Chain A
Amino acid sequence: MTKLLSTEQMAEFANSGCLFFEGLIDEDINREFLNDIGHTNIDQVDNIQQYFQNIKSSSSIPRIPAGTPLKDAYRLNSPLEKIFKNEIVSGAINSLVGSKTVVDHQFLHLTFPSKYYEKANQRQMSQVNHQDSTIDPRTTFDIQLFYFPTAVTKEMGGTRYHPGTHLRIVNEMGIAKYQNIKGQKNIVCKAGTIGIFHNGLWHGAGVNFSDDIRYMFKVRLQPTEKQELLWDPEKKYQPLPNRALYWTDENKDQTINDILMRSYPWQEADTNRLDKINVVKFWRLLTGHKNMDVDYWLTRIENELY
């Protein structure tokens, strides 16, 4: 059984580039995952490379050749297989990249606490902002699924991310010079939380000022089919009609269009309008309604009579 995303959740993803499912994976599976990777106290770790090596040699996390179908990637009854079988996780994946998705890569990100750096006499720095992989002008998109097996407190420096940046096309660390961006968020969550990022979302790891190791397991998934109405196989979604602009009516109900048109504090006054146009273009692809519009942004400039 899978629970496909709602149209509201899809609009949230189209606008912000991310979705979160707080504490979704139960304690037993989180414990099983941590036991499987040999989670230990930082005092037992002398060398980061050795710790990684131990995890790679003894855990059930398999080597997955790039392009392997997700359904064949994880051993039956392993913690990761159980996570991907979760009805909400599988529903979100099917809604965004389809049921025939393939694994691009996976990685277990570890962030070590200050104690480790003090012992090793190294400078402890946060990871700079970046967009993963490389410059990517596709309209097709991949998702990156993040799994947090332990609770992440503010001190642990959970993943920093910038909602609404996913449709800006940049070249990986070309955004590293933006030390701080207004409206930046840091993941603070319960154990078992799942986050799903559009591959273009700007992000970076924070500094871990706690006494515990922070873990984040990431899998990048690619679609093998068009990402049109995957969450709505019965094609029930219909775009809303035009509404009044500026001189508005009194209807205060939040609509799908309000979710799509949400602004962010980091957006420039001029480019914010292009960000909105790009969300509408993205929504056209996701819904298959090639001429739909929100607040006349595209209709206005598509009215070319010559």
Chain B
Amino acid sequence: MTKRQKVLVLYLKFPSLEAEVISWATFDGTGKKLHMTGDSDEPPYPTGLDALLDGWRLFQASQAIPEHPGQEFRTSYLKHEFFFEKIEEGDF
């Protein structure tokens, strides 16, 4: 038996796990499923909290960084990023 990591990245509507998922990515280290860009139109969970309730462990969240003076209205990447993992055991 070996261990493999599955990673779920959720981008939320505001920086709290109760917020709605607006973007998502999944990377499956078990090799059971190959995820790719554009493979689902519906998020795996409605909110970040729902991912926790399903056993995903949060291991990283984006920081709140004040906008640079003079750049307050510049928009760029999605802001509220949360990384989750599940460890799966098996014969891979």
Nearest to A177 among chain B residues (CB) is B25
> Are B78 and A180 in contact (CB-based, < 8 A)?
no
Q: Does A285 contact B (CB under 8 A)?
A: no
Name the A residues within 8 Å of B26 (CB-CB).
179
Q: Does B35 contact A (CB under 8 A)?
A: yes
> Are B79 and A180 in contact (CB-based, < 8 A)?
no
> Are B75 and A180 in contact (CB-based, < 8 A)?
no
Name the A residues within 8 Å of B75 (CB-CB).
167-169, 271, 274-275, 278
Please report which residues of chain A, range 266-284, place their CB below 8 angstroms from some CB of chain B when the two chains form the complex: 266-271, 274-275, 277-278, 281
Q: Which of A129, A176, A270 contacts B79 (CB 8 A)?
A: A270
Q: A127-B37, A180-B43, A207-B36 are in contact. Are A268 and B24 (CB under 8 A)?
A: no
> Are B9 and A177 in contact (CB-based, < 8 A)?
yes
> Are A181 and B39 in contact (CB-based, < 8 A)?
no
> Are A128 and B37 in contact (CB-based, < 8 A)?
yes
Q: Does A220 contact B (CB under 8 A)?
A: no
Chain A nearest Cβ from B67, distance in angstroms: 9
Q: A127-B37, A186-B38 are in contact. Are A180 and B76 (CB under 8 A)?
A: no
Q: Which of A123, A126, A266 contacts B37 (CB 8 A)?
A: A126
Q: Does B74 contact A (CB under 8 A)?
A: yes
Q: Which of B19, B22, B38, B80 contacts A182 (CB 8 A)?
A: B22
Q: A179-B25, A180-B23 are in contact. Are A168 and B36 (CB under 8 A)?
A: no
Q: Does A66 contact B (CB under 8 A)?
A: no
How many residues on chain B are close to A (CB under 8 Å)?
A: 29
Q: Does B54 contact A (CB under 8 A)?
A: no
> Are A182 and B43 in contact (CB-based, < 8 A)?
yes
**Bound complex: CA A61 to CA B73 (Å):** 42
Q: A174-B77, A268-B79 are in contact. Are A184 and B22 (CB under 8 A)?
A: no
Nearest to B14 among chain A residues (CB) is A269
Q: Does B91 contact A (CB under 8 A)?
A: no
Chain A, 112-149, contact with B by CB distance < 8 Å: what is the 0/1 string? 00000000000101111100000000000000000000
Q: Does A163 contact B (CB under 8 A)?
A: no
Q: A266-B23, A268-B14, A270-B14 are in contact. Are A180 and B39 (CB under 8 A)?
A: yes
> Are A184 and B14 in contact (CB-based, < 8 A)?
no
> Are A176 and B14 in contact (CB-based, < 8 A)?
no
Q: Which of A177, A269, A277 contacts B73 (CB 8 A)?
A: A277
Please report which residues of chain B, range 45-89, place their CB below 8 angstroms from some CB of chain A when the two chains form the complex: 73-80
Q: Does B13 contact A (CB under 8 A)?
A: yes
Q: Does A204 contact B (CB under 8 A)?
A: yes
**Bound complex: CA A157 to CA B24 (Å):** 19
Name the A residues within 8 Å of B78 (CB-CB).
178, 266, 268
Name the A residues within 8 Å of B74 (CB-CB).
169, 274
**Bound complex: CA A156 to CA B44 (Å):** 24
Chain A, 203-234, contact with B by CB distance < 8 Å: what is the 0/1 string? 01011000000000000000000000000000
Name the B residues within 8 Å of A157 (CB-CB).
38
Nearest to A277 among chain B residues (CB) is B73
Binding site for B on A (CB under 8 A): 123, 125-129, 157, 160, 167-170, 174-182, 184, 186, 204, 206-207, 265-271, 274-275, 277-278, 281
12 additional contacts (CB under 8 A) given A179-B24, A270-B79, A277-B73: A125-B36, A174-B77, A176-B37, A177-B25, A179-B23, A179-B26, A180-B43, A204-B38, A266-B22, A269-B19, A271-B79, A281-B73
